Chain A
Amino acid sequence: MKAEDVKVCVIRIEGTNCEDEMYQAFKMVGASPELVHLKQLAGKAPGHAKRHLEDYDILAFPGGFSAGDYVRAGAIFAARIKSDIGTELKRFVESEKPVLGVCNGFQTLVELGLLPAFEGVMSETPTAALSTNDSGRFECRPTYLRNDNRGKCIFTSEMKKGQIVMFPLAHAEGKLLSEDPRFVEKLEENDQVAFRYVGPGGAKAVYPWNPNGSPSDIAGICNPAGNVLGMMPHPERVLTRYTHQDWTRNGQPEEGDGMMVFRSVMKKLTK
């Protein structure tokens, strides 16, 4: 497939934000992104505006907020998707098409049961939760992340194992919890851990380097098949070096760290 033939559905509902930069990210790697309202996928739009999920090659859930996150971050978005296009979404994931969820998108994927998805591609009820940050506050700050994936995740294939990148984050609920006592072990066994927060130089992250208190410093996970990635930090906010927090201090390459996530998935689809 040629890059420009890769159709990306950047999905949104009322109150979604961060969709413009997600759109821009896919544009910069040569794909053909489109901002699509859930109602367009659910057949609740006039004829010329109707869209079908199966016509897309990548599905991206932008970060920020959705529907004000009033009940719980991502919950309203997830519930509406489930009732409107649940079957189509399940089929999309089963066919191993890539799905990316950033920040609110990650929260939505967890609420949808698409992550961690230890059994089946999509659980009936959520099996994990993104809980309130330990600080009790919204946190907007840059973070260092280490790629801990051993090769399963299709969004990190262009990164070396152990490579450290800088993505910023901004959220109030990012602490990944599960009731499963073997949660982290299972994630490790299945090669589902994508990113961990680290301190400067790769040191163990303590607050504020782990900004939300997530156990085992987990910042992003993929599903067992590796085609669904959810993460709290925002790769689409660092497409150039010049939106990195400390770029005025360091003479580094022009390209921002976030591009690697988008390059990785495009490489997979265009090879």
Chain B
Amino acid sequence: MAKKALSVKRDVPFPLHDVNILSASDEELKSISSEMGLSLSLDEMKVIVDYFRKEGRNPTDVELESLGQAWSEHCCYKSSKNILKKFVFSVKHPNVLSRGDAGVMVFDEDHGYALRIESHNHPSAIEPYGGAATGIGGILRDIVCMGAQPVGLGDPLCFGLIDRKGELPPGTKHPRYLLSGVVSGIRDYGNRVGVPTITGGFFFDERYTTNCLVNVGALGIVRKDELTNNFAGGPGETMILIGGRTGRDGIHGVTFASADLTSTSDEDSRGAVQLGDPITKEPIIHACLEVNRLGLITGMKDLGGGGLSCVVGEMALSAGECGADVHLEKVPLKEEGLAPWEIWVSESQERMMVTCKPENTEKILEIFELWDVLATPVAVTTDIPRTKVYWHGTKVLDMDTEFLTGGPAYDRPYVSPKVSGKEDEVFPEIPSAGEAIPALLSDLNVASREWAIRQYDFEVRGSTALGPMVGKMNAAGPGDASIIMPVPGSFRGLAATIGCNPWFTEADPYNGAMSSVEEALRGLVSVGARPDAITNCLNFGNPEKPDRLGVFREAVRGLGDICRALEIPIPSGNVSLYNEGSEGGGVLPTPMIMATGIIEDTRKAVSADFKDPGSRVYLVGSTKDEMGGSLLFRKYGGRGGAVPKADPAVFKRISEKLLSAMDRRLVRSCHDCSDGGAAVAIAEMCLSGRVGAEIDVPRDAEESIWLYSESNTRWIVEIKESSAKEFEGIMGGDARMIGRTGGDFLAIAGARIPVSGLYESWSRPLWNVMGGAA
């Protein structure tokens, strides 16, 4: 064992080793990295050797473990940093109040809102319930440490086919089991902390089978004068560790997240999956927000990936070249006998760090005491930029803070992906509309999510104006975006929705990523909200494979281009790489977008369900021959084809008009066209309002393309006869009447489908697989 040979136990009454890297060969450096579970490459190990050569000594195990955490992909974005800098970080906007652990945007004169989404993919693949629950815990801490009260959760999830039959790859759990566990985890944690789950999504594809994606997003509201920093105010401050005790759970979580899953990940990695405790979390939220409101703290940060090892250095360094002296023995433990390095890198849940002027320490401790939340001063900030860690007086870590937290950045090789186009299109044989529309509604990627949605409390806090389901009571259909009214007594609304099209992104990463953003923004406009910002979680494959990195690069370029053109800032974001699965096939490239919008008067919000018989139905926007990656092609075996392109100028023009029509209360209902195209959108409006419609496919249109193309910037709207003239005046050539509402049937393209049948087709599939009934 290399580690045994190369590491020397220090003569102290606790576990501490000096690791002899200065004289180690390349092979030995590699085996030190792998046996200590550092996931550091040989080149990175060599940089560390150079550093310690200058220090004139070998590192301790605490120091090496610390670097393993800080330099992981998860913590320092080493493969993605340069790409993000090039394409995305240049998107600036005056309404961004902060780009901290969560982004913060202007909400109204006195308030900002916080937003962030991140991944919890690998832990959830191993232990879906705990993995998802801790994901929620982590994202809420990111919101709270901006000083914001969490007001909403969003959880887009990607799984293999839940009705999958046959053998699973070794070490893989059935998608149905994973979905059930993840939804239970989100339910039990989200509901218990009292934050409504208002948006989300399910994406099912065989290519998620061995590597599911669990992304969790959150929103918060903060008074502008209570917006806090994620770092200390300067030297001489106290660092107080808040919340749960520290244990062996979650050790090496970040290095785990930054490596491919393998068929033995299950047994190897349980230690890296943490257990959440919403009942510790909830009082932590209260108490942290209270000490912030009272102005007692200078900064606040959550302990996520890398635990103490990451948070201490980052809080000190950002305070302006500060360092910190840490007294590790003060950290409250779950069990005796943890080695200093374990305490230093543990990712035990429900912990935060606050910094304060020493004179406020007692007042802060008193408030946490009332809430029965542990709070322990563990460190002080210093005026030299070094992090020093002590264990009962023995120094176990002494490093330059910048070196420790900085981490490398790579320009790894990439190859540009081949893009699907019209020239390689194979149009499938498709059945009549009467057969195809119910079939598309029943597709797992379209069908009702009620099974999950009603297990989530989407109305807690009493501010949900539009929920994830809209329409008639207990017979509701899908909404486009949710709206909450986060400031009591004000009707100003914050809208949120998820957009992502992994199939477009696979076929054409640049246009697919743009379409994912457009879809999310389109959903906001559907309910009458003006798009304001996005946050994203970029789930891609192994960046060390040039083809995977090429896909990632193109997608990020698309993301940056559309956001720049539409002046939509991205105040926060998260990257999850190495989503390869045990077979190494890689997941679909999945740029998950959570978009937020503002509606000045929520009382003018529009929902997607048809309201009345006898209204006019319009198609807003134009339909193009863009069938690549469409639901129709996936369902009926089409191949190739052009993926929908997004035209920011067109989006800007049409969405402004539509929002202005909504502001004048001319629009009775509105639904965006996405999966399944106009046909599915119209059918969904019928089934959620229990109102039929007669639709005429325009004579100049190719029928199957008009029905099923998923071209961007399109909505179906319902306009009362009496408002039609004014509406047409606003929209000009951008809206075209296509029919009328009424009756109990959807009549379209020669088909006559009963609305009750549409509802059956759409509402049943998930219940049928997951069990139970509405």
Contacts and interface: CB of A to CB of B under 8 A. Distances in A.
Contact of A15 (B279, B463, B471, B473): B279
Nearest to B483: A242
B709 interface: no
Contacts of B283: 14-15
Nearest to A76: B279
B465 interface: yes
Interface stretch (A81-89, A122-130, A232-240): A232-240
B473 A245 contact: yes
A209 interface: yes
B256 interface: no
B457 interface: yes
A18 interface: yes
A208 B366 contact: no
Contact of A243 (B192, B459, B470, B474): B459
Contacts of B488: 20, 24, 27
Interface residues of B, number: 49
Interface string B594-629: 000000001101110101000000000000000000
B317 to A, nearest CB: 34
A15 B772 contact: no
A140 interface: yes
Given A70-B279, A170-B191, A242-B603, A234 B462 contact: yes
B278 A68 contact: yes
Given A21-B461, A67-B279, A249-B611, A242 B602 contact: yes
B194 A18 contact: yes
A246 interface: yes
Interface string B425-454: 000000000000000000000000000011
A142 interface: yes
Interface in A185-235: 200, 208-209, 234
B489 to A, nearest CB: 8
Nearest to A64: B194
Interface in B57-95: none
A242 B606 contact: no
A249 B479 CA distance: 14
Nearest to A141: B454
Contacts of A140: 453-459
B282 A17 contact: yes
A64 B460 contact: yes
A45 interface: yes
Contact of A170 (B460, B474, B689): B460
Contact of B372 (A14, A68, A238): A14
Interface stretch (A90-98, A131-139, A150-158): A131-139
Contacts, number: 128
A245 B476 contact: yes
B772 A137 contact: yes
Contacts of A40: 370
Given A24-B488, A242-B491, A248-B606, A138 B466 contact: no
A248 B470 contact: yes
A168 B457 CA distance: 10
Contact of B370 (A39, A65, A68, A237): A39
Interface string A47-68: 0010000000000000011011
A17 B772 contact: no
B239 to A, nearest CB: 24
A143 B95 CA distance: 40
B371 interface: yes
B194 A249 contact: no
Interface centre among B191, B366, B669 (most CB of A within 10 A): B191
A193 B461 CA distance: 27
25 contacts: A14-B372, A16-B282, A20-B462, A24-B462, A64-B457, A65-B194, A68-B278, A69-B192, A138-B187, A139-B455, A140-B456, A140-B459, A166-B473, A170-B191, A238-B462, A242-B485, A242-B602, A243-B462, A243-B465, A245-B467, A245-B476, A248-B470, A248-B611, A248-B669, A249-B471
Interface of A: 14-18, 20-21, 24, 27, 37, 39-40, 45-46, 49, 64-65, 67-70, 135-142, 144, 166, 168, 170, 200, 208-209, 234, 236-239, 242-243, 245-249
Interface of B: 187, 191-194, 278-280, 282-283, 366, 370-372, 453-467, 470-474, 476, 485, 488, 491, 602-603, 605-607, 609, 611, 669, 689, 772, 774
Given A40-B370, A245-B467, 15 more contacts: A14-B371, A15-B282, A16-B282, A18-B461, A18-B462, A21-B463, A69-B192, A136-B772, A138-B456, A138-B457, A140-B455, A236-B462, A246-B471, A248-B605, A248-B611
